[in-house]
């Protein structure tokens, strides 16, 4: 690889739009970002697309040596629903993965396909709109994801990577395209037959990692106001699941990773299909089409962030002005002084609904018995346990399915403070957890690697070989093994957490 060349990954995350450029040694050398947030409007979680372009340009403006970019790629939060007419005019506001408004459609399609269709998948959103008789559905010409939309606008190519596609509609067993038998079943549904389209006409094309996904056009460069020159080749756009797998070298069977930020999800590459269909487990793919068991949870750090804000306000009453990063670090480290079961303090961190536990909305809760040991350490440990408790419920299902995991890698904001997040996740999953130096970079770093793979691989070199032999050869990280006392404590906590979900359900219904 030419050390003078850079490879750019852009990711539209839930809270940040981030651009990461890596050099010939696969090291992040320059970054730019833009903070944004979803809005709850008319019963729908959404982001305005004009803000996506504002944020993209802001993130790119922070990247240095843009003239040296040899390849790039676009990633974004997976799933959701972007529906366009034949002229690529948006028909309804972007419906994000946070929404839990497609329950009837998801349940009917799961039964029809014998394959779990989560509420946030694009096909569930489309069919729910059909069932509701929404005015726009007869005019739909294209449905895609946020990454697919940005990629098409930049390149004119209406395609997504197979990992991204697998969050829109099930992928065939060979990992190369949508499952055509399931597509035929969908088209045969009475409500769909009344539509003037077939599903195959609406979905973007499917590409493997390294596939030809076009290049930045003059029109695309104009959208970026000259921040990048036309002609840069783009990798197939991927979702944050695929980029997370790439960023952690977790694309081969028996490997897994956990991405933890606004949402939290685990990805475990399977050796063989699961024996049963589980509503709590999504089956998606790696960027090369290998089957992956995904446990996706909508809620992770948002409630913790809110509590940190309250604690910062408290400190400011006494004239203190704590640095945000240091405040998080000290609170995380303080939690290590808490008891393994959090001393009887319980937290449910649901701001949004949660598919794994079948909640259509969220009401954050802190609950304790009168004799609970309510200390700052126990409270904040419970906060951090809550970020991964729902994930643990799904991982326990994989354990019951005898899914083998040789390595589990953590990345994302939850792991920026050394040791703490790893220690708790190791206890939750009862497996060693490794974090690399790039743990905080996550998805955009993974997308930059996919861009490098697009133009730098040898003929016939697989993504698995490329990552193992070139990118991660000799790379060491910190590994935390599960502590027996922590495992027992987390198990005790999760037993009470399951009971807490009844309280959460009542709160959703009555508050």
Q: Domain extents for the chain?
A: 83-144+169-202, 302-435+481-510
In this model, does residue 95 exceed pLDDT 70?
A: yes
Q: What is the mean pLDDT of residues 239-252?
A: 90
Instruction: Taking residues 146-161, report their average pLDDT.
Output: 98
| pLDDT > 70 in the chain, percent | 98
Reported as a single tens digit per residue, the pLDDT across 109-131 is 999 999 999 999 999 999 999 99
Taking residues 385-412, report their average pLDDT. Answer: 92
Asked if residue 471 lies in contact with residue 445, where contact means CB atoms within 8 angstroms, the answer is no
Q: What is the pLDDT of residue 443?
A: 83
Confidence of residue 438 (pLDDT cuts 50, 70, 90): low
Q: Are 456 and 448 in contact (CB under 8 A)?
A: no
Please state which of the ranges 11-25, 94-108, 251-265, 430-444 shows the lowest mean pLDDT. 430-444
Q: Check residue 436 and give its pLDDT.
A: 80
Which DSSP symbol is given to 384? H
Q: Please choose, from the candidates 81, 89, 191, the residue with its C-alpha nearest in 3D space to the C-alpha of residue 133.
A: 191
Whole-angstrom distance, CA of residue 89 vs CA of residue 85: 5
Q: How confident is the model at residue 441 (pLDDT cuts 50, 70, 90)?
A: low
pLDDT at 439 over 70: no
Q: What is the mean pLDDT of residues 347-357?
A: 93
DSSP lists the bridge partners of residue 41 as: 44
Lowest mean pLDDT: which of 70-84, 247-261, 365-379, 384-398?
247-261
Residue 497: pLDDT over 90: yes
Cβ distance 224 to 74 under 8 Å? no
341: which residues sit within 8 A by CB, 6+ positions away?
489, 490, 492, 493
Mean pLDDT over 66-84 rounds to: 96
Pull the structure tokens for residue 396: 């326990």
Say what the pLDDT of residue 481 is. Answer: 93
- The predicted pLDDT at position 15 comes to 87
Q: What pairing do the DSSP bridges indicate for beta strands 159-161 and 205-207?
A: parallel
Taking the model in full, what pTM does it have? 0.84
**What is the reported pLDDT for 180?**
97
Which pLDDT score, from 0 to 100, does residue 176 have? 94
Q: Name residues whose C-beta falls within 8 Å of residue 250's C-beta, 6 or more positions apart in sequence.
A: 244, 256, 257, 267, 269, 407, 409
**Residue 163 clears pLDDT 80, i.e. is over it:** yes
The predicted structure's pLDDT at residue 65: 95
pLDDT at residue 100, rounded to an integer: 84
pLDDT at 404 (0 to 100): 87
* Pairing, β 238-239 against β 69-76: parallel
CA-based end-to-end distance of the chain: 58
Residue-level pLDDT at 14: 87
C-alpha 27 chain-centroid distance: 22
Span 472-485, average pLDDT: 89
The whole-number pLDDT of residue 3 equals 65
302-435+481-510 adopts what CATH topology?
Answer: Nucleotidyltransferase; domain 5 (3.30.420)
The pLDDT score that the predictor gives to residue 110 is 96
Note the pLDDT tens digit of each residue in 132-145: 999 999 999 999 99
Query: How does strand 433-435 pair with strand 407-411?
Result: parallel
User: In terms of Cα–Cα distance, which of 73, 74, 72, 69 is closest to 2?
Assistant: 69
* pLDDT at residue 253 is higher than 60: yes
CA distance 370 to 389: 23
Mean pLDDT of 404-420: 87
Q: What is the pLDDT of residue 412?
A: 79
Would you say residue 476 has pLDDT above 80? no
């Amino acid at each position: 690889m030419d050390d003078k060349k850079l490879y750019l990954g852009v990711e539209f995350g839930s809270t940040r739009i981030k651009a990461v450029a890596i050099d010939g040694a696969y090291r992040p050398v320059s970054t730019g970002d833009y903070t944004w947030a979803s809005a709850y409007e008319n019963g729908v979680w959404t982001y305005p697309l004009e803000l996506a372009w504002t944020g993209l340009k802001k993130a790119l403006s922070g990247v240095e040596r843009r003239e040296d970019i040899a390849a790039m790629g676009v990633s974004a939060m997976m799933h959701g629903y972007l529906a366009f007419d034949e002229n690529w005019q948006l028909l309804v506001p972007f419906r994000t993965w946070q929404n839990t408004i497609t329950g009837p459609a998801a349940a009917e399609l799961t039964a029809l396909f014998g394959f779990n269709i989560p509420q946030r998948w694009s096909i569930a959103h489309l069919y729910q709109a059909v069932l509701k008789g929404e005015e726009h559905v007869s005019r739909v010409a294209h449905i895609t994801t946020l990454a697919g939309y940005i990629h098409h606008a930049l390149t004119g190519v209406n395609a997504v990577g197979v990992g991204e596609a697998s969050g829109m509609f099930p992928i065939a067993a060979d990992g190369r395209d949508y499952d055509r038998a399931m597509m035929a079943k969908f088209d045969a549904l009475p409500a769909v037959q009344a539509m003037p389209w077939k599903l195959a006409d609406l979905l973007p094309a499917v590409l493997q990692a390294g596939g030809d996904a076009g290049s930045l056009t003059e029109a695309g460069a104009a959208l970026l106001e000259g921040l990048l020159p036309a002609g840069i080749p783009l990798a197939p756009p991927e979702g944050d699941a695929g980029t997370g797998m790439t960023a952690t070298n977790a694309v081969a069977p028996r490997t897994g990773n956990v991405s933890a930020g606004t949402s939290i999800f685990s990805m475990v590459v399977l050796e063989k299909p699961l024996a049963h269909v589980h509503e709590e487990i999504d089956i998606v793919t790696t960027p090369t089409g290998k089957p992956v068991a995904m446990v996706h949870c909508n809620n992770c750090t948002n409630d913790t962030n809110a509590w940190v804000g309250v604690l910062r306000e408290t400190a400011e009453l006494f004239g203190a002005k704590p640095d945000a990063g240091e405040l998080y670090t000290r609170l995380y480290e303080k939690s290590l002084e808490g008891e393994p079961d959090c001393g009887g303090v319980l937290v449910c961190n649901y701001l949004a609904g949660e598919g794994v536990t079948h909640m259509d909305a969220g009401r954050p809760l802190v609950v304790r018995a009168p004799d609970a040991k309510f200390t700052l350490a126990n409270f904040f440990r419970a906060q951090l346990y809550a970020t991964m408790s729902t994930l643990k419920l799904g991982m326990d299902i994989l354990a019951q399915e005898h899914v083998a995991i040789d390595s589990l890698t953590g990345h994302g904001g939850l792991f920026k403070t050394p040791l703490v997040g790893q220690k708790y996740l190791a206890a939750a999953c009862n497996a060693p957890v490794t974090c690399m130096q790039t743990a905080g970079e996550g998805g955009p770093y993974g997308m930059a690697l996919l861009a490098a793979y697009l133009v730098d691989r040898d003929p016939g070199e697989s993504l698995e070989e490329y990552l193992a032999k070139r990118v991660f050869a000799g790379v060491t990280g910190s590994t935390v093994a599960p502590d027996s006392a922590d495992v027992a404590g987390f198990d005790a906590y999760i037993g009470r957490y399951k009971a807490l979900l009844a309280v959460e359900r009542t709160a959703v219904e009555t508050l």
